[in-house]
């Protein structure tokens, strides 16, 4: 059997944790090989070793049958290995072409030959059906298009082995479907793909083989066509996983969060939210769904105090918070799990225990007379780390920046759910999480609902919206085009409303 990649008995240690423990990965040429595991299972570490970002502490690597030492990404590029990272490495005020040729600029005399490079980018884009404008600026294109630019960066460098690290974590359902098609075309053109993911549905759709890691150890490698989602989930988390959300009927009470005739502008000074009104009651989860870019982000920022409200009002338990700063909204009973965990969820250069008390560090038990009580702060984080299974190499002392994306998300969820706010704005709560963590988070949200909290759940995952929500509001063009009972609707109806094809009386 011809293996293009052989990573044999790989060991990688970090302070306090063994990220890869005698892991062997063998990938056939011309295949899509999925690397599946929980957050912190060692998937990204293993691929970072293959791409030269880390050096292994043990084991060996063979590419196309030849033993190699990959000391840095330049060596990986020379071996035909490219990587699309979970968080894109793009310069936002550069064009697509300028980003792709960065570090490999073609010359025409003393000048960079951008025109020739743009022609090659356009040719590659057409060949692989990527449909990217070589002259567009990164800041002007969608997240899905930015990911295609990252793919073009690899193809421009003649990469034959393509590593995708959680490629669908920031994509809409439509963009995910398009990416699956792009992957198949890449394989048809002779490329080999390693897909780091935790999404079983996508593995079943596109992968040939799946290798499962758990807590740094190899659990097994299986042909995807012979393995059910339930079997792969059990291999990943070590127990049977319940794919349905176990919740009883809701008992809604008084209105906790009341949004009336809200208008909000976006960064281009256009009206992104238009006369939007919603009510979220005590003891219910109201799901908000829509195609990305229809005003969800602007609505969340307005509700949480991150952007200005043009007109309209926001009330929490009857108290007007429309123009209050963030801190005072939190004091009034608002909770927020942000969509962008790096910009709005964590201070990346703070320790984990510091991030766990970011909203309440100035109050007892974490401070007395203005002096921080570090023992109480540490004890609080130890409790939350254990309760929410946050994987952190140095425990409370771990820098937030050094944690995996999924564990960063768990830390935010732990902090916010532990605060148990009256009105809870929850945006993309399971983005980047594995099936075991998703099951747990959904259970915790339902538990908060059953305690009488009012939860506004904003998600691009239709399955999540339908499974967790009691009522579902659909947003299109910054307006609510309908509110339906989750038990009385289906994906088809929601899809038509999301596209603006039908409206229901609100």
Query: C-alpha angle with apex 432: 430 to 436, nearest 5 degrees?
Result: 65
Sheet with 217-223, side-by-side order of all strands: 81-84, 161-165, 192-197, 32-37, 209-214, 217-223
* Mean pLDDT, residues 376-386 taken together: 95
Tens-digit pLDDT profile for residues 109-145: 888 888 898 999 999 888 888 888 999 998 888 777 8
pLDDT at 170: 64
Tens-digit pLDDT profile for residues 281-340: 999 999 999 887 789 999 999 999 999 999 999 999 999 999 999 999 999 999 999 988
Q: CA distances (Å), 275 to each of 150, 343, 479, in order?
A: 38, 27, 7
> Which CATH number fits the domain 242-333+424-506, given the four candidates 3.40.50.720, 3.40.50.300, 3.30.930.10, 3.30.450.190?
3.40.50.300
**pLDDT reading at 432 higher than 70:** no
Q: Which CATH architecture has domain 3-237?
A: 3-Layer(aba) Sandwich (3.40)
- Which range, 31-40, 49-58, 231-240, 495-504, is most confident? 49-58
- Specify which residues 371 forms β-bridges with: 368
**pLDDT reading at 474 higher than 70:** yes
- Where along the chain do its domains lie? 3-237, 242-333+424-506, 347-420
Listed range (128-142, 258-272, 346-360, 467-481) with the worst mean pLDDT: 128-142
Dihedral pair phi/psi, residue 21, rounded to 5°: -120, 90
245-278 burial: b if 16+ Cβ within 10 Å, else e: bebeebebeebbbbbeebbbbbeeeeebbbebeb
For residue 292, with 0-12 CB atoms within 10 Å meaning exposed, 13-18 middle and 19 or more buried, which class applies? middle
Q: Are strands 367-368 and 371-372 parallel, antiparallel or unpaired?
A: antiparallel
Instruction: Please tell me the total number of residues recorded for the chain in this structure.
Output: 506
Q: Rounded to an integer, what distance in angstroms lies between the CA atom of residue 379 and that of residue 62? A: 46
Residue 389 gets the label, from left (phi > 0), alpha (psi -120 to 50) or beta, of left
Question: For the chain, percent helix, then strand, then coil, each to nearest 5?
Answer: 35, 30, 35
pLDDT at 146: 87
Quickly state the pLDDT bin for 173 (edges 50, 70, 90): low
* Mean pLDDT, residues 17-23 taken together: 92
Q: Which residues contact 412 (CB under 8 A, 6 or more apart)?
A: 337, 338, 341, 345, 346
**pLDDT reading at 505 higher than 70:** no
pLDDT at 237: 82
pLDDT at 243: 67
* Mean pLDDT, residues 244-251 taken together: 83
SS3 label, residue 63:
strand
Percent of the chain with pLDDT over 90: 55
Got the DSSP string for 468-488?
A: H-SEEEEEETTEEEEEEEGGG
CB 236 within 8 A of CB 198: yes
Quickly state the pLDDT bin for 223 (edges 50, 70, 90): very high
* Mean pLDDT, residues 55-62 taken together: 95
CB 352 within 8 A of CB 396: yes
Q: Do domains 3-237 and 242-333+424-506 have the same CATH topology?
A: yes
Q: Which residues contact 241 (CB under 8 A, 6 or more apart)?
A: 230, 233, 234, 435, 436, 439
Q: Rounded to an integer, what distance in angstroms lies between the CA atom of residue 22 and that of residue 5? A: 16
Nearest to 419 by CA among 465, 343, 366: 366
The tokens for 304 are 């949480």
SS3 label, residue 385:
helix
Q: Rounded to an integer, what distance in angstroms lies between the CA atom of residue 52 and that of residue 56? A: 9
* Mean pLDDT, residues 178-201 taken together: 89
HSE value, Cβ hemisphere, 13 Å, CA-based, for 454? 19
Quickly state the pLDDT bin for 496 (edges 50, 70, 90): confident
């Amino acid at each position: 059997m011809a293996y293009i990649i052989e990573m044999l008995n790989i060991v990688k240690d970090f302070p306090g944790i063994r990220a890869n423990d005698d892991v062997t990965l063998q990938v056939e040429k011309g295949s899509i090989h999925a690397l599946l595991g929980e957050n912190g299972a060692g998937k990204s570490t293993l691929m970072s070793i293959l791409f030269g970002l880390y050096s292994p502490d043990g084991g060996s690597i063979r590419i196309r049958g030849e033993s190699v030492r990959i000391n840095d990404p330049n060596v990986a590029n020379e071996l035909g290995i490219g990587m699309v990272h979970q968080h894109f490495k793009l310069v936002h005020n550069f064009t697509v072409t300028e980003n792709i040729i960065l570090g490999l600029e073609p010359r025409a005399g003393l000048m960079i030959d951008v025109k020739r490079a743009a022609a090659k980018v356009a040719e590659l884009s057409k060949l692989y059906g990527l449909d990217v404008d070589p002259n567009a600026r990164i800041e002007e294109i969608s997240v899905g298009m930015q990911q295609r630019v990252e793919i073009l960066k690899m193809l421009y460098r003649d990469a034959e082995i393509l590593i995708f690290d959680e490629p669908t974590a920031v994509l809409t359902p439509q963009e995910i479907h398009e990416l699956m098609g792009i992957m198949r075309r890449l394989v048809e053109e002779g490329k080999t793909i390693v897909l780091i993911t935790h999404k079983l549905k996508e593995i079943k759709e596109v992968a040939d083989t799946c290798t499962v890691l758990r807590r740094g150890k190899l659990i097994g490698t299986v042909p995807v066509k012979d393995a059910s989602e339930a079997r792969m989930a059990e291999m990943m988390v070590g127990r049977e996983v319940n794919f349905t959300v176990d919740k009883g009927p809701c008992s809604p009470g008084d209105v906790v969060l009341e949004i009336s005739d809200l208008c909000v502008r976006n960064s281009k000074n256009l009206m992104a939210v238009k006369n939007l009104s919603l009510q979220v009651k005590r003891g219910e989860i109201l799901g908000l769904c829509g195609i990305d870019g229809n005003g969800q982000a602007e609505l969340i920022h307005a509700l949480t105090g991150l952007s200005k409200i043009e007109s309209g009002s926001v009330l929490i338990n009857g108290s007007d918070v429309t123009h209050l700063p963030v801190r005072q909204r939190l004091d009034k009973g608002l909770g927020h799990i942000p969509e962008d965990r790096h910009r709005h969820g964590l201070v990346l250069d703070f320790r984990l225990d510091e991030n766990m008390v970011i909203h309440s560090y100035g109050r007892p038990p974490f401070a007395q007379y203005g002096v921080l009580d570090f023992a109480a702060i540490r004890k609080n984080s130890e409790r939350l780390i254990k309760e929410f299974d946050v994987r952190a190499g140095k425990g409370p002392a771990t820098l937030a920046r050094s944690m995996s994306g999924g564990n960063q998300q768990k830390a935010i969820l732990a902090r916010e759910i532990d605060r148990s706010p009256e009105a809870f704005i929850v945006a993309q709560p399971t983005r980047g999480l594995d099936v075991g963590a998703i099951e747990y988070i959904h259970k915790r949200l339902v538990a908060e609902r059953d305690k009488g909290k009012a939860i506004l759940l904003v998600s691009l995952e239709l399955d999540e919206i339908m499974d967790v929500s009691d009522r579902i509001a659909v947003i299109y063009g910054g307006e609510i085009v309908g509110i339906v009972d989750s038990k009385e609707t289906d994906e088809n109806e929601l899809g038509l409303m999301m596209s603006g094809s039908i409206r229901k009386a609100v």
